[in-house]
Amino acid sequence: MSDGPDGLEPGTLPPVSDVRQGARDRARELREQHRKQDRRRRLIVTGSVVLGTLLILAVVVSVLISVSRPTARGPLNMISDGIKIGAGLKAEPTVALLPGEKPVAAKKNPASVLDIKLYVDYLCQECGTFQKKNGAQLQAWVKSGAATVEIHPIAVLTTKSVSSQYSLRAANAAACVAEFAPDQFFAFNAAMFTRQPKEGSPGLSDAQIVARAAGAKAVHLADIRRCVDDQRFKAWVQSATTRALSGPLPGADIPAVAVTPTILVDGAQYKYTPSFDPDEFAQFVVQVAGDRFTENPTPTPTPTPVPAS
């Protein structure tokens, strides 16, 4: 009779030691297999945790970036954060300020042309008084080419209107006019200080603001209306306000805006009295100008009679 495959006679059991050794080998194989499976599971879990953490970090970074900078460009013709208006009350055209970009200072005026900058809030009562008392002579100087005026609408009194954020909405509307009707901006700016709302009031509605633009004969009124309704330049207004308050102000002898209105003539700050007397402002302009206007054939900035209100 032939032996079996293990060299044992058929029907004969292997020795007990062989059975035990086989069981030990099998147990060792199972343990090794379990270790490999555990290792694979740990790698999968660790990889999932790392990937999830990276995804969370990416979302957080994306949110922080989106919060820390405006999500849309600024208005056309306001790359300096203000709109510069010169002879004939025509605006100086510029491209828009892109998100994250710093303002670009306007081109320096010829020596014979004064550079006047105004930082205004449309709810600021002092800004309204300055416009009422000095708007006529300022218009005469700019229209004749004796000076340029760069108007910076900012929103420092946003919380001072009854739940309407009027300062922010008004400055956004000014940006809309600068984009679509820049040559009517001077007239619109003056109109915003006519029958000016008081602090603590809701201010003008969006429709009333657009009506002021219409009264200033602004072109592309439908585009302005959509821009106002959408608050298209809200983020830009907030960023421009922060920049004005934190500084630096290019070409100025003060580091930042501390009050509204802030009025600069060739970089020198006009320290006005509460009356905003037009004679005082004219004298300050002449003082800053020195002998420029006497050498220039354009009109000398002398006080212009202001119609009684």
Q: Does the pLDDT value for residue 61 go beyond 60?
A: no
Shared-domain flag, residues 144 and 55:
no
Q: What is the DSSP string of the chain?
A: ----TTSPPTTPPPPHHHHHHHHHHHHHHHHHHHHHHHHHHHHHHHHHHHHHHHHHHHHHHHHHHHHHS-SS---TT-TTSSEEEEGGGEEPP-PPPPTTPPP-PPPPPPTTSEEEEEEE-TT-HHHHHHHHHHHHHHHHHHHHTSEEEEEEE--S-GGGSSSS-HHHHHHHHHHHHHHH-GGGHHHHHHHHTTTPPPTTS----HHHHHHHHHHTT-S-HHHHHHHHHHTTTHHHHHHHHHHHHH-PPTT-SSSS--SSSEEEETTEE----TT--HHHHHHHHHHHHTTHHHHSSSPP-PPPPPPP-
Shared-domain flag, residues 135 and 258:
yes
pLDDT at residue number 41: 77
Shared-domain flag, residues 165 and 60:
no
Shared-domain flag, residues 36 and 154:
no
Of residues 34 and 178, more confidence is placed in: 178
Q: Is residue 165 part of a domain?
A: yes
Q: Is residue 300 part of a domain?
A: no
Q: Is residue 74 part of a domain?
A: no
Q: Does the pLDDT value for residue 169 go beyond 80?
A: yes
pLDDT at residue number 251: 86
Percentage of residues of the chain with pLDDT beyond 70: 78
Q: Is residue 6 part of a domain?
A: no
pTM, 2 dp:
0.74
Percentage of residues of the chain with pLDDT beyond 90: 68
Looking at the structure of the chain, the number of domains it has is 2
Q: Is residue 189 part of a domain?
A: yes
Q: Does the pLDDT value for residue 13 go beyond 50?
A: yes
Boundaries of domain holding 119: 83-295
For the domain that residue 126 is a member of, what is the CATH number? Answer: 3.40.30.10
Shared-domain flag, residues 175 and 270:
yes
Residues 181-195, mean pLDDT to the nearest whole number: 98
pLDDT digits (tens, 9 = 90+) for 213-257: 999 999 999 999 999 999 999 999 999 999 999 999 988 999 999
Flag the least confident range among 63-67, 123-127, 289-293: 63-67
Q: Does the pLDDT value for residue 188 go beyond 80?
A: yes
pLDDT digits (tens, 9 = 90+) for 199-209: 999 999 999 99
